[in-house]
Structure 1
Amino acid sequence: MKRIFWGGLALLSAVFLPQLATAEPDLDRMSVEELLPLAQKEGKVTVYSFTSRIARVEKEFEKTYPGVDLIPSDMGSTEQIARLKTEAAAGISNADVIYLSDTPVVLTELLEKGLIRNYVPPRIENRMPAEFKAPLLSPRLSTKVLMYSQEAYPDGSPIRNLWQMTTDEWRGRVVIVDPLQKGDYLDLMTEFVLRGDEMAKAYEAQFGKPVELDEGVDNAGTQFIIDLFENDVIIVGSSDDVSAAIGRKGQTAPPVGFTTYSDMRDNEREGWALQVANDVQPSNGIIFPAVLAITAKTTHPAAARLVIDFLMGDDSSDGGASYAPFYVPGDYAARTDIESHPAAVPLKDLAAWRVDPAATAKLRQNIGDLILQLQ
């Protein structure tokens, strides 16, 4: 009997102990201190980022974690999504971490199709509202809002109602990025339609009569888009182009336009006078989450988690050096323990609509088709 017992035990050990010895560690639950030696063995991590500020993060990250080379790749959200889908189809994975916006498409085209996965660093798990931890981690909220030149209009925004931009006074003097090239701007256009009732009330407030809809149009937001494009809206290639057109000093009657509120951080460097238009009916634009995720087939899983933890900021009230590129007016931290920048409009007072990615995803293709016709 003893021989049978010990023989059976030996057999069980032979089967199960090697499996236990080679079991994958739970990287998701590891601390930074536990991840670091694994990340140093991996040696590098590639980040696709929709913001050029990732270059500043790179320097700080490599100083904090020597031996881990952060390779930044600055590309817009639309390009990131297309590239990740192409790489997946080819069976390759060049990125470890993605940092992007355009959440409606990210959820449907990347997350639901298994190309990326969510990761919430244990260190900040209890400092985040649930909505910013799932389905994807959001380090901050970004914007596409109406901006103007404070130099040319020292008494405040010349636009107090969005419908003013459809009048003769503003013909050819409104600038936006091509919504068919940059998904955040298509989300903005979609939001006008989703907020059709509010747009109808704003029309009546501006013109003193109910909105008149073109034949076949059943929504005031759709009518606004049509009227805006028919009023010779200026289409450019990037948010920087919008900001420069609006904010460049020395203009007597500069345009207004929709761009990123946080572009104000470049006012001094670029010689701009950008300011956010916040007293606008029914809204000045949209606010939406930027998201972080790990690619499903990352080849540097520990380093990927380490860089996501780093991008969430340190334990100080302003996020410290790792969060410094994003601690600017117009960016709002999703963490409850990071205070908003003192020069920013408080989040509760910002007149922007909060995007519902699921609702936007259902409608944005139709709005894209409309804009294609208008162009």
Structure 2
Amino acid sequence: MSSSTPRIGSTQRTAPRIALAALVAFLAGATACAPSSRQGDDAPARAGATASAVIDDPAEFDLDELVSAAKKEGSLTVYDSSGDITKVAQAFTTKYGIKTTGVKNKVGDTLEKMTREAQAGNVTIDMTLYEDGPSLVGELLPQKVVRTWIPADLADQLPAANRSPLLVLSKANVWVYNPKLFPKGCPVDNIWDLVGPEWKGKVALQDPLGKPNIIEWFNQLVNGADQALRDAHDAAHPGEELKTSQETAAQEWVVRLAKNSPVLTAADDDVAAAVASPNQTQPRIGLVSNAKFRDVKDKNYSMRVCDTLKPWSGYLYPKYGAIATKTTHPNAAKLFTHFILTEEGITHELGAGGIPASTKVKQGSFTPPGLTDWKKELFSFDPKYLAKDFADTEAMQDLWRISHS
């Protein structure tokens, strides 16, 4: 890493994942052709069905019976990368009388801990709300560390794309600026501006090697947004052909961003501070979670979404629900899954905004300043690419690492 590269905080780097060729081929088949999701609760994983959530037979599903069975199991522990999980756990405990502990934990650490617990047959994490789709589909599900389950009475509220695997919520990472430093609005209007010389050393984001959904975003851009990025380049540089040493426009953009001396941090808190803290005088653009807007009032930050940025002001990233296969509290985990898919349960994850997976639940009422339409302004991940995202994770990490060195 260049000594001239700005850094804020320390960075945890995710260990590269090694996918066997047979597993990659297997997973590719799983997402290419989604099978019927109706099968017995304890049915073994079948080729092509790994990522699909189990849905019990509606005729046999009884919520009251599930509640009764869950209460007999006594307790529950749920891991999530958001601190909001403590509020969800408290609400679940209040509603059902089941002692529930919500633990905030980095997604990579949750992956390692759940895998080791499954191998040891000593499970303490009963379920997780999990933000790394590629490792969920590529590691946890095929290794039977976890499974995904959908309550039959809520199944019709979930679009097909939200079932494979089970999506509970979509949140956002958005490009932000400081309106005190730029009172006329966001100083950039095209994503290619961020990799130009005028913004060298002025773009802040969490180190992609320590935040899986940024690497996944890069891969999702490669798979589903090449033409949109080429069109954006043409709009930013009329008459100038995009010259690239990479196979795709997305990979070229990633390489240019890495080479443009971005300010890398260990957490979004540091990105928000680098852009929006009260005494900030350095002009910067930052990529942060929508949750950071909760800090604006308490910390007197000045921060707004770059609503004029084309083709997107940021991206939506998914949060999935998965139950530990060897949990000793399977019914409590199922009931928690049911709870988190309802407005009563998911509302505690929507304090900073978000889009629930269920079509019957309203979007979070909070909207970061500048973000008026989440679905139109933000790039959305496509679950059909999850297996390929997993297969391409290490290559994308290497591309970033080499380009940033």
Which category describes the TM-score, using the shorter chain as reference length? Answer: 0.7 to 0.9
2: CA distance between counterparts of 1:239 and 1:303? 33
Q: Which runs of 5+ in 2 are unaligned?
A: 1-41, 43-53
**Matched residues in 2 for 1:346 and 1:201: separation?**
22
Q: Give the equivalent residue in structure 2 for 1:90.
A: 120
Distance 1:143 1:27 in 2: 28
Structure 2 CA distance for aligned equivalents of residues 353 and 136 of structure 1 = 16
Q: Of 285, 289, 296, which aligns to 2:325?
A: 296
State the percentage of identical aligned residues: 24
1:334 aligned to which of 357, 366, 374:
357
- Aligned mates of 1:53, 1:127 — CA distance in 2: 23
Cross-structure match for 2:73: 42
Contact 1:249–1:273 (Cα < 8 Å) also in 2: yes
Is the Cα contact below 8 Å between 1:77 and 1:101 reproduced in 2? yes
Q: CA offsets, 1:6-37, max 9 Å, x none?
A: xxxxxxxxxxxxxxxxxx9x995544432233
Higher helix share: 1
Please list, as runs of the form range in 1=range in 2, the aligned pairs for 1:273-292 lying within 5 A after superposition: 273-292=302-321
Q: Bigger CA drift: 300-309 or 322-331?
A: 322-331
AA of the residue aligned to 1:184: N
Alignment of 1:1-375 (within 5 A): 30-66=61-97, 68-132=98-162, 134-194=163-223, 195-208=225-238, 209-214=240-245, 217-313=246-342, 319-320=343-344, 322-328=345-351, 330-344=353-367, 345-355=372-382, 356-373=385-402, 374-375=404-405
From the superposition, tell whether residues 244 and 325 of structure 1 become closer, same or farther in structure 2 (CA, over 3 Å): farther
Counterparts of 1:328 and 1:88, CA distance in 2: 33
Amino acid at match of 2:65: E
- Aligned mates of 1:131, 1:197 — CA distance in 2: 23
TM superposition score normalised by structure 1? 0.83
**What code does the residue aligned with 1:60 have?**
A
Q: Which amino acid in the other structure matches residue 303 of structure 2?
A: L
Separation in 1, partners of 2:340, 2:183: 36
**Paired AA for residue 310 in structure 1:** F
Q: How many residues align?
A: 341
In structure 2, relative to structure 1, the CA distance for the partners of 1:249 and 1:32 (3 Å cut) is farther
Distance in 2, Cα, partners of 1:285 & 1:359: 22
Superimposed CA distance per residue, residues 54-96 of structure 1 (whole angstroms, 9 cap, x where no aligned partner): 0111221221122x11122211222211222222232322211
Contact 1:161–1:280 (CA under 8 A) maintained in structure 2: yes
332-341 or 83-92, larger mean C-alpha shift: 83-92
Gaps of 5+ in 1: 1-23, 314-318
Distance in 2, matches of 1:336 and 1:196, equals 30
When the two chains are superposed, the root-mean-square deviation of aligned CA atoms in Å is 2.4
| Alpha carbons 1:27, 1:35 under 8 Å: kept | no
Task: Give the whole-Å Cα distance in 2 for the aligned partners of 1:357 and 1:288.
Answer: 12
Instruction: Kindly state the Cα deviation for residue 300 of structure 1 after the two structures are TM-superposed.
Output: 0.5
The code of the aligned residue for 2:106 comes to: G
Does 163-172 or 93-102 show the bigger shift? 163-172
- Specify the structure having the higher radius of gyration (Cα): 1
Residues 118-159 of structure 1 deviation map (CA, whole Å, 9 limit, x = unaligned):
111233222221211x22221111222322234433433222
